[in-house]
Every structure is written in structure tokens, then in C-alpha cells.
Structure 1
Amino acid sequence: MSLIPLASRRDHMDTRTKLDPFRNALLAAVSAGREFPPPQPLDISPWLAMSLLQKSVRRGRCDLALKAAATLYRDAPDRLWRRLGGIAFEDVGLANLQAVGLTTAALTGKRFRRDLGGDWNVASVVVQRLTQSRKSRACDDLFMALEAMPSLAADRHTLSAETNPRLRLTALTTPSLHTRALSILFLLGTDRPGWRLPVRRGEVALAFDLLDELGTAPTTLAICREGYRKTQEAMPPLLALLALENGLRDETTNDRMPEEAMIGPVPGWALDMFTREGKMALTRLLVTDAGIAEFARSMVPKQKQVGFLGQALFRVEGGLLARRLGGDLSDRLQSQLLYETLGVEPQAAVQALDLIQQDLPLLNRIRQTVIGGQRDG
């Protein structure tokens, strides 16, 4: 006898039904008679490949995104699909729910992808669709605000100790988007690796039932429910919540990109603090007389200085988008990310971002020595 509650099984079947149009769209895209580019993997680590994939999608660099995907397809296929799912919700999100649905459909399973023509053909379609799409990082901007904004410290502490019924009532009645989002995540459960919110056991079904009660459209809710089931990340429920706000403009803009420098086989912007090479470069930058290094040493506790450099770098390099789709809410969330979540006062954050922008040429030279040293070794 199945141990899955009847209501949960019904939710699962309903979700599968609502995702069928996206599975059919994926089948049509794979079967459209196109020629799929052969995999061209790079000689880089899976962690660097994941970084390159995500940032290439953000920047609309399909050539690099496909090479990064090919590297993961060869070396770490499970990471390829999990990362594509994360990218869809984190970097495309509200700007193109159809592309998010298509990507979520691709996560159905290996047998499903085999029936469509195989993992690489499906991955090629998804990578190209995400890369060419309009983009919004509103979900991740909101999540980082929930984790780090000083003004939310009291809410983080109080809500983490609330009962499920109280969290539901708070989400239904509060006028604050951030309080509502925190209530939903604590109801979902925050005992997840990498999350910086207070740890609380939750009930996933209750969180998505609440999003349904708040009025999230059924198809959007199905995409986000399945996306969470596959990725276990915060972005899917936050996308379901933000879909109620919307207010996006029609036109897109390109973020201003710093001058690109190739570091071995990859652009410098792929070497962020979550790659071994990128973290090593930031560690070396910290002991120079660069303006951002002096700022970090004077303003940030020693044990947090490398992380601070990495967060500042993300704001001026790693998190930049081509074809960004903004709106009043999205713009406010982006401003909060830039100036209210860096761990220093907003005025100091402005200075820090200016300094690291100025020091990018030095950082790229350090990155070059890191990559060159590893190759020599």
C-alpha cells in the first residue's frame, strides 16, 4: 500500500497534468528538424562549468553556455539538470514563465528525455531557450533580502518560532511582501543546505496550499511545485508569490558589462567565489593594496572579508543580465540587493561597489596567475 497521503497524490497528478503542455512543447522543440550542435566540452572542473553555464545564460552567451553544458553532460549530468532548473527560476523567472515551464518539463526524468531524443538534444533546446529569453532576477533578489537585510532581523527571529497556523494567518493578512515571503519559507521549511535563514522544520504541502489560497494561477503553481520538488531551492515558491505582484514593463535593457578578459578557456566573470579558482583569486586580491581590499580590511571582520569581496563582485559582474525585464517591484528588489544586503551601510555599499568595479582589471590579472599556476603545476 502507498504511504503517500491521498491529497499529496492528487496534487502530484494535478501538477503532472498541468505540465503536459510544456512537455508537449519540449517535444515539438526537440522534434522540429533542427541540427543539434555536437557537445564541445571544456577542460574545466564541474564547479567552474556550473558557474560558466549560469553566467553565460545571464549574459545571453549561448556559445559559452552550450560548452559549459557539454562539460557537465560529460562529467556531472545530474548537476547539469539541477543547475538548469535553478537557472530557470533564478535568472529567467517572471520574465518568461513559458521558458521556466519548458525547463521544468525537462527535469521530468532521464527516461522522458531519452524518449524525446536524448539528454544532449533536450539540454541544447533548454540552454538555447534560457539564453535567448528575457530575464528577471527578482526571486533571488528577494531571497537575498530575506536572508540579509538588517531591517528584517526581528521578523526572521519571530516568524521562525511561529506555529504553522500563525504563519498562514500572517501571510494572508500582512501588507508586507517580505513578511509574507518569510512566512511562506518558514512554513515550507528552512532546514536546507546553504540557506542562511533560521532553521525551522516545515511542511512543503502546506506552503504550496497557502500559495494557492493567496491566488497563484494554477499553471504557475504547478510549475513552481514541480520546480521545488526537483531543485529543493527557495526560488520556485518565491516565483509563485511574486507572480501575484508582477507589474513588469514591456521593454528590456542590458546591464552594463565590464570589459571581458579571457582567463584560460573561460571569461574572467566565470571565476566567482563559489569556484576554487575564483575564491583563490579573491583571497590574493585581499592582501594587495587595491582600494576594495583596503575597504574590506577596514570595514569587515577578517573571517568575512573574502565572502564580502565575493558578494560585491557578484553585484558588479556575476549577477549582470542581458535582456533584463524590470518593473517597479523588480527595481526595488534589485536596489535592496545592491545597497542593503552587503553587510555595510548603504552609503558604504555604494563606495564598495565602485571600488571593486575599478579593481576588476587587477582581479583579472590575479585570476590569470591562478589559472596559469594550476596549469604549470
Structure 2
Amino acid sequence: MLCQSIPLYDRDKFKADMREYSAPKLEKNYNLDRYLAMSVVQKSIRRGELGLALTSGGYLLENFPQVFWKRLQIIALEDVGLANPALVEQVIDVASDTPSLVGCGGLEKVAAFLMEKLCFSQKDRSTDDLFDVMSRDPICANNCTTLIESRENGDLYVLDGDVFGRVLSIIPPGQREIVWDSYLRRADEWMMMMEGVEFNAPASIIALSSKASRRTRSMLAPMLLALSPEFPVSVQEADDFFLPEESYKGVPTWACGMHTRVGLAGLRQYAKHSPRVGKLLKQGKTGEVSTSKVLGGLLFRMECGQLQKRVDWFLGRSLKDRATELGWGVSDECVPDLLCTMKEEWNLLNACRLSALQDYLR
């Protein structure tokens, strides 16, 4: 049974807000494809670039509506999270019930309203940072193994009271060997574990995490719950530093990350044109993923994952720093030198991505 609590947002107020809202026309950028549009809309929301969010979101809504509404829910969980849980719940509820939106002025009006709210909200990426650390940090992997072994031996394993222990305590017993998939398997089992947590968490966040698990199947939902006991009552915000960008046909280079074909093409060009990066990769590459994805993971920490109006709190900072230090497809020891080199060669990296964009959109 879904944990019951008072909703974080006022549904009647949402309807009243929609009646008063004057929506901008959703101009569409038809130079985009599905995956490039998904990248632009999410990263423009991270940066508070409403115009780009509307043009890319409008294209998705017209051509891939199910993808658009699903992506909006993930953006709320991944990039807003505990900084504005009422907005997260609102996005998840509204995006899960699009037939009812006709009475609110139509899909385009509601889509524009939610994208604007997401753009200008305070933001926090700790859910994704925590997932990265839990799935890639060897210490966390060892803790998960200990939990599995204690269950098999019939021992009582006492979890530490930190965020990693809280995540481990939520994992359903039958899923601890396969837990680090991107999507929740058998979400009902996760929901039962979340609704029975023994650590101190707000009832509203328990309900939100449970609802998000059921509707999105995203691993970020339990991360939200595990983070909640340490999220401060009052917070400060700060904009991340944004590196220089280039643009072609309305598509900025910061949209060209590892989840797009054009982004991977640009990173392959960069690897070929940078002897320094080639040498570092030869020393530290593990072969788990391609060279372009190794660089894409590092690029995410430098540029693609940066936020406007990021909430500044201790656990969030420490998780971001810890995730940045972890390599994906490259040894952790090589990460600092690779990040430093990519920053020093930023003009070359941007030129390669711009060239890839020009070839792709020609």
C-alpha cells in the first residue's frame, strides 16, 4: 500500500495557476533528433535556459510525447530532488495523467508551465551523485557484499547511520546481487522497503519516493529517501561555473554529451586530436566502455551536469566531489590528470564537438 501523507503541492492551486498562466508559444527546433532533443531540454533546464528548453521540449512533445513526459519526470528527480520536492511531486503527478490536462488549457500550456517551473527552481543533483557513488565506489560495493553475506549466514548486519547505510537498508533482500541497474526491478518490493524504513525520514518524502518508484521505476527514487534525513531546513544556493560554449543551428555544444550520437562523435574526434589525452587513456583505460564514453563521463562532471541555482549543502557537496573522483572505464588515479587536461584543452574539445554538430546537422 502506498504510504499516505498530505500531498506536497496543492492540486487546486495548480489548476488556478494554469488558468492564470500565459504560456509562450512552443517554437520547435526541427534540427533535433529524439536523443539530441532530450539532451537539450534536460541540460537547458539545469542551466535555467528557458528558451532552449521550450524549443527542444516543444519538438519532443509534438513528435515523441511519451518520451517528453517521461523525461520531465526524470529531470525532476535527478536535477531538482530535495531542493523542491513539491515540484517533483507535481511533475510526477501531472506527467503521469496527461489525459486530464486538456481541461488545464492543453498539453502545450502545461508542458511550458512545468518546464518554466523546473528551469527557475532551486536544484540539487545529489540523487544522481549518490547513485554514482553507490554503484561505482569499491567501498560501497564491499558494504553491499557484506549485507548479502550476512543475510545468507543468518547474521544480523547492523547498518551504519550514514547515507550509504540508509541506501543499503532500502534494497529488497532478493535484489542485492543485481541492485545497480538504472531502473528498479519489481518496484513493489522497493516500495515496501521504503514504507518500512527505520531511519527518520519525513512522511511526505517516503510517500514521494514510493510514488516515484511506482511511476518512473527510477533508481533515483530510493536515493531521494536515503538523502532526506540530512537535508537542511534552510539552504543557500549558488550557480555552478559554466565553461564557454559554441552553438550551431540552435544546438549548444554543452548538449553534446555521451548520451547522444553527435556527442560521442565529437569526443572521438577530440581523442584523436589530443596526444595528451591519448597518452593518459593508454595508461589508465580499463576497457569497460569506449574511449568516447570515458571522456563523456568526465565531461559530465565538468560541464553537462552543472546547475544554475544549485542548493549548497554539506552532504550534497561531498557526494558531488566523491563522484567526480571516480573513473568510468578509466582508473580513478587517472581522473584528476584527465580532467585537468580537458579543461586546458577546452577550445580544442569545443571545436571537435562543433565540427561533429556541423557534420550531423548539415
TM-score (norm 1): 0.85
Question: Counterparts in 2 of 1:96-245, with a 5 A limit?
Answer: 96-160=84-148, 163=151, 170=157, 173-187=159-173, 189=175, 195=182, 203-211=189-197, 213-245=198-230
Shift, 1:63, TM fit? 1.0
* Structure 2 counterpart of 1:41, from 28, 32, 46: 28
* Whole-Å separation in 1 of the counterparts to 2:308 and 2:265: 28
From the superposition, tell whether residues 224 and 153 of structure 1 become closer, same or farther in structure 2 (CA, over 3 Å).
Answer: closer
Look up the SS of the partner of 2:122 in the other structure: coil
Specify which of 246, 251, 261 is matched with residue 276 of structure 1: 261
Is contact 1:264–1:368 with CA below 8 Å preserved after alignment? no
What does residue 357 of structure 2 align with?
371
CA–CA distance in structure 2, aligned partners of residues 306 and 298 of structure 1 = 16
Q: Distance in 1 between matches of 2:333 and 2:234?
A: 28
2:182–2:218 Cα contact (<8 Å) kept: no
Percent identical pairs in the alignment equals: 26
Q: Give distance in 2, aligned partners of 1:55 and 1:29.
A: 26
Give 1:196 shift: 9.7
Aligned counterparts of 2:332 and 2:287: Cα–Cα separation in 1: 20
Residue 353 of structure 1 pairs with residue 324 of structure 2: no
Bigger drift between 179-188 and 84-93 goes to 179-188
Q: Which moved more, 1:347-356 or 1:328-337?
A: 347-356
Q: CA 1:176/1:137 → structure 2, altered by over 3 Å: closer, same or farther?
A: same
Query: Counterparts of 1:257 and 1:302 in 2: how far apart (Å)?
Result: 30
RMSD (Å) for aligned C-alpha atoms: 2.9
- Indicate the SS of the match to 1:134: coil
Native 8 Å contact 2:288 2:329 kept in 1 = no
1:346/1:373 Cα in 2 relative to 1: closer, same or farther (>3 Å)?
A: closer
Structure 2 SS opposite 1:325? strand
Any stretches of 5+ residues in structure 1 without a counterpart?
1-7
Give a deviation string over 1:139-196, Cα, whole Å, max 9, x none: 11111000101222212334356659x89x75x7422321321332345957689539
Q: Secondary structure at the match of 2:273?
A: coil
Shift of 1:124: 1.0
C-alpha displacement of 1:215: 3.1
Cα-to-partner distance string for 1:56-80 (whole Å, 9 max, x where unaligned): 1111111111111101101111111
Q: Under a length normalisation based on structure 2, what TM-score does the superposition of the two structures give? A: 0.89
Judge conservation of contact 2:41–2:56 (CA < 8 Å) in 1: yes
Unaligned runs of 5+ in 2: none
Equivalent in 210, 231, 250 of residue 265 of structure 1: 250
Query: Does residue 1:292 correspond to 2:292, yes or no?
Result: no
Give the one of 309, 314, 321 matched to 1:323: 309
